[in-house]
Structure 1
């Protein structure tokens, strides 16, 4: 059942958990606790302490795996996330250090996107480092949308989403053979499945103490790593600082992202692989997001992004 993030009984339980965790950490609360983020899928509390602000996060049922994934990231790549101070693997509750300043506000002030090159380089390195953990991540509850399963999951999506408009449904049904062929072609490049954020945009990246940290892994899945470029390159960077479609060339950012993959898979034509992945990435995004009851409209839009040939 979906929690009521404003229910006093739920909040009392959270406050007790947070208080116990802070006591274990030797931290004391120094001011009123705020709840600046209340969304259907998650909520966050800001807690001022004598050691600086800390943040509590809870996810809707089905997304509790974010806390378990965060623990893996904290162990394997602690440089890429804010400090994970405490977490409950069952409830998915997390307590994290402050992430710093959001990239979106930095871009608005600087009027350029060049920081994305270093961010994508960092993120690609995390994906490569967690490649060997793919099976373990699936066992922790991270959605399994590995490349070989994507055609079958697309067929299942068509059967499960009753709200899909008839035109989109018929077009995707007709495109199922193409989806299978594209998956086989992308698989032939030999890039293994790994963690994939699946919603990697400028509100999910922060700057803390001069380094980039990557947040909000609740939409992450185990899939082809290059699927991430659908949202990041074509859904965000290509729109530039003024939100104008195709106003920013994406090639420099693509190449920055590919740098660690070139080192690991130097013989493959990775640019060609990204072209396929940037289309199929919208299928992955549709499959991954469709279980949320408020995502049905988005599911159709993402499927049409594939059908219309993005990028």
Structure 2
């Protein structure tokens, strides 16, 4: 890993090469901890400048722009001037606000203005979708999201109207800057959820979705009915160029099948509503008795079976029937005339088209240096959708 260090926008030098203890580029807590100790001053990672695409999203050689809070320890940095520094520091219209000089500090200043002095902030995540900073002494998390994502605190405020315990408490919100300040959710992430956790989270979330359907939500919309046009746009652009001739033919065949697939989904009788968007158990927190859902930045108005499909794709095979049964029972209770199971087969295809459209929205709205995070995602999702139609159930 490489770090190009600046004080404000003034280039100070490069840190000697080091190895991060976490391979994921966006997870920077260990990186800033190492740099704080090495340089003797607090640091923030502003953005990814370069990454070798050995494995998308992690591993390989990574170069970050890092900002220090004061003059670093002498003799550590290589101060050799960089001819590309003016290009690195130049304004970029699609740059995330926290990737700009002083961006993370502005988020921290806003948060501490609400909770008071909170000790040393810990930057946990920084990439093109969000910046996440913990204020440990205040038991709070400050989060900034991109202009094309949802604002966590805003979505949570709507959710709390129907289940006040299903998401962390909101301590502050700035809609203009897309900043959220949330209370820490005690416990651990539920990567391996037990039966009680699956039943509790899934049933409570469905109850909220059924009640919130008609709310005036400030989130993006991506409805199944939008997918034919979305697929047309993808195939006419870079995604179409990346597919092989055989894959492109298969994709056009899928496009012709879409009206029937969407009609099958509609026959389940479920309403479009708030979708979490990344509904896997790693975004659930539990202390054994109290459970919450976190990370609401991917929320949008869409079809609720999207969240179930996302969940079952993550769960081990033996736990999937419980999730499906819990979800089906909850929706039948909320909408007795519905047939939720009818949504599962078409959603196994549509989930990938929704993913392709979402990833393309990311690519359309992030600066060039950050595209490496998602460059291949829309094409891979189209390939997965094609494969789903070729399985014996379709």
Smaller-chain TM-score bracket: 0.7 to 0.9
* Residues 18-51 of structure 1, C-alpha deviations (whole Å, 9 max, x = no match): 122224xxxx42x2111122233211111123xx
1:115 maps to 2:115: no
Q: Give, in whole Å, the separation in 2 of the partners of 1:48 and 1:250.
A: 35
3-state SS, counterpart of residue 290 of structure 1: helix
SS in 1 for 2:292: strand
In 2, Cα distance between the equivalents of 1:10 and 1:264? 44
Cα distance, 1:117 vs structure 2:
2.6
The equivalent residue for 1:292 is 362
Q: Secondary structure at the match of 1:291?
A: helix
Partner of 1:266: 336
> Are residues 281 and 6 of structure 1, via their aligned partners in 2, closer, same or farther at CA, if it must alter by over 3 Å?
closer
Consecutive unaligned residues of structure 1, counting only runs of 5 or more, are: 241-246
Q: Which has the larger radius of gyration?
A: 2
Where 2:165 maps in the other structure, the secondary structure is: helix
Q: Is the 8 A contact 2:267 2:342 kept in 1?
A: no
On the 8 A contact 2:145/2:179 being kept in 1, the answer is yes
> Given the alignment of the two structures, is residue 159 of structure 1 paired with residue 200 of structure 2, yes or no?
no
Shift in CA distance, 173/127, structure 1 to aligned 2, threshold 3 Å: same
CA distance in 2, matches of 1:61, 1:97: 23
Aligned to 1:306, the other structure's residue is in SS state: helix
The answer (yes or no) to whether the contact 1:43–1:59 under 8 Å persists in 2 is yes
- The structure with higher relative contact order (CA 8 Å, sep 6+) is 1
Give yes or no for contact 2:153–2:182 (8 Å, CA) kept in 1.
no
- Please say if 1:80 is aligned against 2:166: yes
* Cα distance change, pair 114–160 in 1 and its aligned pair in 2 (3 A): farther
CA apart distance, 1:258 = 1.6
2:111 corresponds to 1:18: yes
Match of 1:127 in 2: 209
In the alignment, the residues of structure 1 paired with residue 294 and residue 201 of structure 2 have an alpha-carbon distance, to the nearest angstrom, of: 12
**How many equivalent residue pairs?**
286
Q: Give the 3-state SS of the residue equivalent to 1:250 in structure 2.
A: helix
Pairing partner for 1:47 from 132, 135, 152: 135
Match in the other structure for 1:227: 306
Q: Relative to structure 2, which stretch is displaced further, 71-80 or 212-221? A: 71-80
Q: Which of 166, 179, 182 is matched with 1:96 structurally?
A: 182
Contact 1:151–1:179 under 8 Å retained in 2: yes
Distance 2:287 2:306 in 1: 27
Deviation at 1:261, TM superposition (A): 0.8
Rate the CA distance shift 1:157–1:70 in 2: closer, same or farther, 3 A: farther
Aligned to 1:187: 266
**Structure-2 residue corresponding to 1:57:** 143
User: What are structure 2's unaligned runs of at least 5 residues?
Assistant: 1-93, 364-372
Cα 1:188/1:6, change in 2 over 3 Å: closer
Is the Cα–Cα contact under 8 Å of residues 229 and 281 in structure 1 kept in the other structure?
no
How large is the Cα RMSD of the aligned pairs?
Answer: 2.4
1:66-113 Cα shifts (integer Å, max 9, x gaps): 4432332234432211001101111110000002233345x2xx8x56
Match of 2:24 in 1: none
Cα distance between partner residues in 1 of 2:278 and 2:163: 19
Q: Is 1:34 the counterpart of 2:116 in the alignment?
A: no
- CA change 1:21–1:159 in 2 (3 A) is farther
- Report which of the two has the higher share of strand: 2
8 A Cα contact 1:199 1:231, kept in partner: yes
Cα distance in 2, alignment partners of residues 276 and 32 from structure 1: 48
Query: Does the CA contact (< 8 Å) of 2:283 and 2:293 recur in 1?
Result: yes
Cα contact 1:47–1:55 (8 A) shared by 2: yes
Residue aligned with 1:96, SS: strand
CA distance in 1, matches of 2:207, 2:127: 30
| SS across alignment from 1:85 | strand
